């Protein structure tokens, strides 16, 4: 029932893990008997993603929050935060959903004008799974943390409910400042951005309908404030329909916030907003 891993796009084009295919073909329950397999899977994934570089437990430096039981496996809200001490030194955070067909859900990279202290995303969860976050420091150190997510029935709704509507407004973007515009370089405020996009995974030809749904997903997203890069996100089909991300923005109000996105078909989308001085 489970498609071979190698058939699905992996985040990094060159990264291919065909030897993992038998592992995910096994039952995906939460029985204790599964524990060694899950541990082995994470070891294999780490080896492939980080070239065998060692990781250490993150402790308080990096926190991953996800619902222990997902209400909507097609859009599981997750958040990542760094301690004040770690934030200026972390270059990238890798989000990995171990049991997904394409495990590397996103890589967040800090731009010169931003940091990764508070991030959020909505992801698809295909089966009961460990979710891992790994923070990569400027000196190459890797800190990892994890949470187990139950998403029963997740694969029953892996795609959007009204794909046609999502396609029709493809590329439209939204931006929200729940706490208002930033008030200076020292005080960051949360920003949420979203790109309307079906973000479909693509399927093999279905034996029943003979239909082939092509893969269409956002693969990169870039945020700039006052012309300087704040954040880059590399992502793929584990990100939910209408990719939605949150991050923290510091700086003087009144500048232009620009979001650029690009999908696997080389379509490019961009929007810009002037972040008001006082609402």
Partner 1 sequence: MAPSAGRRSALLGLGGALLAAAAPAEQPTQIAPGVFVLPGVHEDASPTNGNAIANVGFIVGGASVAVVDPGGSLAHGQRLRRAVEAATPLPIRHLVLTHAHPDHVMGAAAFADLRPEVIGHARLPEALAQRREGYLRMLEREMGPAAAGSDALPPTRLVEDRFDLDLGGGRALSIAAHGPAHTDADLSLFDSATSTLWLSDLLFVERIPSLDGSLSGWMRALAALRDCPAARAVPGHGPPAVPWPTAGMALAGYLEALREGTRAAIASGLGIAEAPARVATTEAARWRLAESYHGRNVSTAYRELEWE
Length of the chain (residues): 279
- Note whether 164 binds partner 1 by CB under 8 A: yes
| Binding track, positions 119-158, relative to partner 1; x by CB under 8 A | -x-x-----------------------------xx-xxxx
Mind giving me the DSSP string for 10-54?
A: PSSTT---GGGHHHHHS-----GGGHHHHHHHHHHHHHHHHTT--
- Note whether 178 binds partner 1 by CB under 8 A: yes
- Residue 84 or 211: the one with the smaller Cβ distance to partner 1 is 211
Tokens encoding 253:
């109000």
Q: Applying CB under 8 A, which of residues 21, 30, 146, 203 lies at the interface with partner 1?
A: 203
- Residue 13 or 164: the one with the smaller Cβ distance to partner 1 is 164
Q: With CB under 8 A as the contact rule, which of the stretches 7-15, 39-47, 224-232, 234-242 interacts with partner 1?
A: 234-242
Please answer whether residues 90 and 63 qualify as being in contact, where contact means their C-beta atoms are separated by less than 8 angstroms: no
The footprint of partner 1 on residues 15-54 (CB under 8 A) is 29
- Residue 129 or 196: the one with the smaller Cβ distance to partner 1 is 196
- Note whether 14 binds partner 1 by CB under 8 A: no
| Binding track, positions 83-102, relative to partner 1; x by CB under 8 A | --------------------
- How far apart, in whole angstroms, are the C-alpha atoms of residue 188 and residue 117? 9
E-state strands within the chain:
56-57, 62-65, 76-82, 90-97, 104-110, 118-123, 129-137, 142-149, 173-176, 184-195, 218-225, 228-235, 244-251, 256-263, 268-274
φ/ψ region of 116 (left if φ > 0, alpha if ψ in -120 to 50, else beta) reads alpha
- Chain contacts with partner 1 (rule: CB under 8 A): 1-2, 29, 67, 71-72, 75, 77, 79, 120, 122, 152-153, 155-159, 161-165, 169, 172, 174, 176, 178-179, 194, 196, 200, 203, 206, 208-213, 240-242
């Amino acid at each position: 029932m489970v498609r071979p891993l190698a058939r699905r796009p992996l985040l990094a084009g060159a990264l291919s893990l065909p030897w993992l295919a038998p592992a995910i073909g096994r039952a995906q329950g939460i029985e204790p008997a599964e524990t060694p397999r899950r541990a082995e899977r994470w070891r294999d994934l780490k080896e492939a993603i980080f070239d065998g570089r060692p990781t250490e437990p993150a402790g308080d430096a990096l926190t991953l929050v996800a619902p222990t039981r997902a209400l909507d496996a097609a859009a599981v809200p997750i958040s990542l935060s760094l301690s004040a001490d770690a934030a200026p030194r972390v270059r990238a955070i890798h989000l990995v959903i171990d049991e997904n067909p394409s495990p590397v859900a996103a890589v967040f990279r800090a731009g010169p004008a931003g940091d990764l202290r508070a991030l959020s995303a909505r992801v698809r969860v295909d089966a009961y799974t460990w979710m891992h976050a790994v923070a990569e420091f400027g000196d190459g150190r890797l800190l990892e943390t994890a949470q187990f997510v139950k998403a029963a029935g997740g694969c029953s709704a892996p795609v959007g409910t009204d794909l046609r509507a999502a396609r029709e407004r493809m590329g439209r973007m939204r931006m929200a400042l729940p706490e208002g515009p930033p008030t200076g370089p020292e005080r960051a405020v949360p920003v949420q951005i979203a790109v309307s996009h079906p973000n479909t995974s693509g399927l093999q030809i279905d034996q029943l309908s003979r239909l082939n749904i092509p893969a269409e997903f956002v693969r990169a997203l870039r945020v700039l404030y006052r012309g300087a890069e704040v954040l880059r996100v590399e992502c793929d089909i584990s990100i939910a329909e209408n990719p939605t991300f949150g991050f923290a923005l510091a700086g003087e109000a009144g500048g232009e916030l620009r979001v650029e996105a690009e999908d696997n078909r080389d379509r490019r989308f961009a929007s810009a907003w002037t972040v008001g001085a006082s609402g």
